[in-house]
Amino acid sequence: MERKHLWAALLLLAIACFVFPASSDSLLRISLKKRQLDISSLNVANVARLEDRYGKHVMKDIEKKKKKKKSDTNSDIVSLKNYLDAQYYGDISIGSPPQNFTVIFDTGSSNLWVPSSRCYFSIACWIHSKYKARKSSTYTKKGESCSIHYGSGSISGFLSQDNVQVGDLVVTDQVFIEATRESSVTFIVAKFDGILGLGFKEIAVGNTTPVWYNMVKQDLVKEPVFSFWLNRDINAKEGGELVFGGVDPKHFKDKHTYVPLTQKGYWQFKMGDFSIGNQSTGFCEGGCAAIVDSGTSLLAGPTAVVTQVNHAIGAEGVLSMECKETISQYGEMIWDLLVSGVTPDQICLQVGLCYLNGAQHLSSNIRSVVEKENEGSSIGEAPLCTACEMAVIWMQNQLKQKTTKESVLEYVNQLCEKLPSPMGQSVIDCNSISSMPNVTFNIGDKDFVLTPDQYILKTGEGIATICLSGFVALDVPPPRGPLWILGNVFMGVYHTVFDYGNLQLGFAEAA
């Protein structure tokens, strides 16, 4: 599920950062410092990120301030930057003597790749740093071809092996991808050279061993743990810290709440209910899959829930004709079926907007593919099926409050008007932030609250200020979904521990 164009006028800051590796406590620290960034550079990032791995492509940083200096504790500090106050990246070195590259430290992928000197026909390679194997005395030829496909492009190349340095830690004999082709305009305008994945080997392309695995295997870190602290104070110089080998107690309050991983690959766990204000949305009462992703800027969730959030905060989405058409033609029928006791997962089937293939619930356009050989059908009505399923969720939740049919149908029509735009972004009135509700994620039987100031993103100053919803819609079908992606909007509020040794995630209020 490698996953994640452009939005006009959005949020942001960028951050220059520093790494504190190999200190006296055997931790490799990556600290981040902030500086203001022209907001025009925000475009390409957030939706592109989601379309990347979930289809996901990531942004690169061309700006190359590579500086190293010694701290008072004799630990190296490697300059890092924070793109868009959400995408964190920094410098690594490959080979002997070291060749420098800027990479994203990304918990949502598992490969290390950088452009190759043998990349001749991709413009992106000409404007980014390229790895030159012939100049490294520790290079070992591998040669196997491989590629990574993203939602808006792909990279392809071949495997090579060399030493990789992050701070003072040198990972020997690391296999990585030399990219010889970057087939997307996005990579041309991207802000980094490559990606250093911090996910699990299960999602690594080419069956390669991730850099983090080798850090642990080669006894370079104190513990098989790394942790993120992201400073969301826009006035602070320090943007955050990524610690390899442990946690920094200065960056969190009280104890962490730990939850076990439910599936290796991404850092995935089971999340409980999601509430707006003090009211459950009813979508994740039985639990939802969730992923913590340091490479994703915002909070991504099912369209049905994100629409309710946007309605509650007054966000202006794009009018969905399919949604309103469904409510107009089938709203009363859906209501009557719910009241009569028909189970929610059967209603859209009975209405005729979705189709059941064996034990699987399929939308009509999937049905056309399934039946193509037998019937030659090419008619697809997936938008109406999706709209029906969302309407059922909304109406079912309203029924619990003993609301009248007329008021429910009016409410659902309002939700239709707040559906997120195809680009995922929704704008809100900055003057209304103080009256917006908190939102709550239930994780490990504990509530993790985000206030409006934390989930609303601001860009610009004075009359040019624009406020954006920190929620974007992402619909991942079963069995993998429904799925939430908790990006840096969430990680900025809650210090996050990635415990590789115990296969768990820990969350505590950031200090």
Q: Are residues 295 and 429 in the same domain?
A: yes
Q: Is residue 366 part of a domain?
A: no
* CA separation for the pair 316, 417 (Å, rounded): 8
Domain boundary among 368, 403, 438: 403
- Considering only CA atoms, which of 221, 219, 199 is closest in space to residue 210? 199
Q: Which pLDDT score is estimated for 48?
A: 46
Which residue is it, tokens 């907001």?
A: 39
Assess contact for 184 and 57: CB atoms under 8 A: yes
Q: Is residue 57 part of a domain?
A: no
Q: Are residues 185 and 282 in the same domain?
A: no
* CA separation for the pair 280, 313 (Å, rounded): 15
Which two three-digit tokens encode residue 385? Answer: 């099926």
Q: Are residues 388 and 497 in the same domain?
A: no
Distances (CA, A) of 486 to 86, 170, 213: 12, 31, 23
Q: Are residues 98 and 202 in the same domain?
A: yes
Q: Which pLDDT score is estimated for 272?
A: 94
- What length does the chain have? 511
Q: Is residue 108 part of a domain?
A: yes
Q: Are residues 100 and 151 in the same domain?
A: yes
How wide is the angle at C-alpha 269 spanned by C-alphas 53 and 47, nearest 5°? 30
Q: Are residues 299 and 435 in the same domain?
A: yes
* CA separation for the pair 109, 265 (Å, rounded): 8
> Strand ranges (DSSP E) for 55-97?
68-70, 76-83, 87-94
0.85 exceeded by pTM = no
Q: Are residues 467 and 426 in the same domain?
A: yes
Distances (CA, A) of 422 to 52, 230, 443, 493: 15, 29, 29, 27
Domain of 193, CATH number, reads 2.40.70.10
Q: Are residues 179 and 82 in the same domain?
A: yes
> What contacts 374, CB < 8 A, 6 or more positions away?
none
Q: Which pLDDT score is estimated for 49?
A: 46
Domain boundary among 403, 438, 465: 403
Q: Are residues 390 and 425 in the same domain?
A: no
Domain total in the chain: 3
Q: Is residue 183 part of a domain?
A: yes
Q: Are residues 206 and 277 in the same domain?
A: no
Q: Is residue 59 part of a domain?
A: no
* CA separation for the pair 254, 431 (Å, rounded): 33
Q: Is residue 371 part of a domain?
A: no
Q: Which pLDDT score is estimated for 454?
A: 94
* Phi and psi torsions of 158, nearest 5°: -145, 160
Residue 106 a catalytic site member: yes
* CA separation for the pair 189, 62 (Å, rounded): 9
Q: Is residue 215 part of a domain?
A: yes
Catalytic residue, from 76, 193, 293, 499: name it: 293
> What contacts 36, CB < 8 A, 6 or more positions away?
13, 14
**330 sits in which H/E element:** helix 321-339
Catalytic residue, from 91, 106, 193, 499: name it: 106
Q: Which pLDDT score is estimated for 74?
A: 29
* Phi and psi torsions of 175, nearest 5°: -85, 130
**Domain region containing 263:** 251-316+417-507
Q: Are residues 298 and 429 in the same domain?
A: yes
* Exposure string for 460-475, b = 16+ CB within 10 A, e = fewer: eeeeeebbbbbbbbbb
Which two three-digit tokens encode residue 418? Answer: 């707040």
Each of the 511 residues of the chain gets a pLDDT tens digit; together they read 444 433 323 333 222 232 333 344 667 776 554 444 333 333 334 444 454 455 443 333 323 333 333 333 322 333 345 554 545 677 899 999 999 998 888 898 899 999 999 999 898 899 899 999 999 999 999 999 999 876 556 899 999 999 999 878 999 999 999 999 988 776 776 778 988 999 999 999 999 999 999 999 999 998 999 999 888 776 666 777 888 999 999 999 999 999 999 999 999 999 999 999 989 998 888 889 999 998 888 899 988 898 889 889 988 754 456 788 889 899 999 999 999 999 988 999 888 888 754 333 333 332 322 233 333 322 234 667 878 888 899 998 888 888 899 999 999 988 887 776 655 667 888 999 999 999 999 999 999 999 999 999 887 777 778 888 999 888 888 888 889 999 989 999 999 999 999 999 999 999 9
* CA separation for the pair 114, 124 (Å, rounded): 11
Other CB atoms within 10 A of residue 459 CB: 20
Q: Which pLDDT score is estimated for 132?
A: 97
* Phi and psi torsions of 332, nearest 5°: -65, -35
* CA separation for the pair 404, 292 (Å, rounded): 39
Residue 293 a catalytic site member: yes
Q: Which pLDDT score is estimated for 72?
A: 34
Distances (CA, A) of 432 to 309, 458, 494: 14, 13, 25
Q: Are residues 302 and 330 in the same domain?
A: no
* CA separation for the pair 243, 222 (Å, rounded): 11
- Report H helices in 44-156: 46-51, 123-126
Q: Is residue 8 part of a domain?
A: no
* CA separation for the pair 260, 275 (Å, rounded): 22
Question: Any bridge partners for residue 363, and if so which?
Answer: 354
* CA separation for the pair 409, 331 (Å, rounded): 7
